[in-house]
């Protein structure tokens, strides 16, 4: 269940109450006239089944409550109420499968914004991955994947395509391109520094690396894995049981491929540089494609659910 706390202008409260009462899956409606001071208006509170939440929020936005008042949404971790159980049963679909598009847009907006923290995480992840590819250490590769924040802007770009938000798409694209560019440039300098200390060597990079050679050898399997990870990451993001954005694309070689390209570039190895870059672009394409198609499928599914009586 979700809890909505609304501040509504007095002249729109009746319309808001009618909308709530006509929305299947709502309960525990409370109206406190004149309680709001900034902005001035009435306070309306209601609980709604998650699967009906997107429809209700969309209706409230059509009434411009977000412009002239306020819409606050909270998850209810525990609700002991027969009315709440009935509301959840009446609402179409399952709550765990429901997509709250406003929440999705807000979450991906935050995660896809180019910031100092984002740059720091993706740079650190790429440097860790650089150590992993040179040492052929799979544990470091997995650690770099978990630290890498790149799924945020990838999910943001997919969401922007489905919701037709050009600004979010541009913001996500900038975060991806600038983030990887800075991370790879710093990793090139890091590789040269490590080489000067005798900790990295070209022989290590060019030698047999059975655990990490895949990061510069793109093939059809790489694309399949990227698509599967993109689907899993998107479902994790939209589901009520979702986890953190960090690490959801842990099975994809985005950051490791960028790291291998940077290390290879520092030694002038164009073969591995191009191979790793192709691997990176292939995986990014696979994740975006899978994420976009998954969101479109979810949007179609819920439109069918709402059409049911």
> In the prediction, which pLDDT does 221 show?
84
> In the prediction, which pLDDT does 133 show?
93
- Ordered structural domains, the chain, with CATH: 2-91 (3.30.70.120), 103-305 (1.20.1080)
Tell me the backbone φ, ψ of residue 102, rounded to 5 degrees: -65, -40
Angle between helices 50-62 and 101-111 (to 10 degrees): 90
> In the prediction, which pLDDT does 229 show?
84
Residue bearing tokens 């006239």? 33
Q: How many CB atoms lie within 10 A of CB 26?
A: 24
Written as tens digits, the pLDDT of the chain (309 aa) is 899 999 999 999 999 999 999 998 899 999 999 999 999 999 999 999 888 888 899 899 999 999 999 999 998 888 889 998 888 888 776 656 666 777 777 777 777 889 999 999 999 999 999 999 999 998 898 888 888 888 889 888 998 898 888 888 999 999 999 999 999 999 999 999 999 999 999 999 998 888 888 888 888 888 888 888 888 888 877 775 554 444 445 556 689 999 999 999 999 999 999 999 999 999 899 999 998 999 898 888 767 666 655
- CA pair distance 151, 157, nearest whole angstrom: 10
> In the prediction, which pLDDT does 96 show?
61
Q: How many CB atoms lie within 10 A of CB 156?
A: 30
Question: In 3D, which of 175, 151, 255 has the Cα closest to residue 263?
Answer: 255
Reading the block at residue 107, the tokens are 């979450």
Q: How many CB atoms lie within 10 A of CB 235?
A: 18
Question: In 3D, which of 153, 149, 205, 195 has the Cα closest to residue 175?
Answer: 153
> In the prediction, which pLDDT does 139 show?
87
């Amino acid at each position: 269940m979700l809890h909505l706390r609304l501040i509504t202008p007095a002249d729109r409260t009746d319309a808001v109450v009618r909308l709530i009462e006509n929305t299947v899956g709502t309960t525990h409606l409370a109206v406190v006239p004149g309680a709001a001071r900034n902005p001035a208006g009435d306070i309306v509170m209601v609980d709604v089944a998650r699967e009906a939440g997107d429809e209700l929020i969309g209706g409230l936005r059509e009434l411009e409550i977000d412009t002239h008042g306020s819409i606050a949404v909270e998850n209810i971790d525990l609700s002991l109420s027969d009315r709440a159980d009935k509301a959840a049963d009446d609402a179409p679909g399952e709550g765990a499968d429901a997509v709250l598009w406003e929440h999705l847009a807000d979450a991906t907006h935050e995660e896809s914004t180019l910031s100092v923290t984002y740059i720091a995480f993706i740079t650190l992840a790429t440097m860790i991955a650089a150590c992993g590819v040179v040492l052929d250490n799979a544990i470091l590769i997995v650690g770099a994947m978990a630290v890498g924040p790149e799924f945020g802007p990838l999910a943001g770009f997919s969401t922007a395509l489905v919701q037709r938000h050009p600004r979010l798409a541009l913001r996500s694209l900038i975060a991806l391109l600038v983030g990887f560019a800075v991370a790879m440039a710093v990793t090139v300098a890091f590789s040269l520094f490590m080489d000067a200390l005798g900790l990295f060597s070209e022989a290590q990079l060019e030698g047999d690396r059975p655990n990490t050679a895949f990061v510069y050898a793109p093939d059809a399997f790489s694309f399949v894995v990227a698509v599967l990870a993109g689907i899993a990451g998107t479902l994790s993001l939209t589901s009520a049981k979702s986890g953190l954005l960090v690490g959801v694309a842990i099975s994809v070689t985005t950051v490791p491929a960028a790291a291998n390209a940077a290390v290879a570039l520092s030694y002038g190895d164009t073969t591995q540089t191009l191979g790793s870059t192709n691997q990176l672009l292939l995986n990014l394409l696979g994740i975006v494609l899978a994420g976009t198609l998954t969101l479109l499928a979810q949007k179609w599914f819920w439109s069918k659910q709402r059409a049911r009586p």
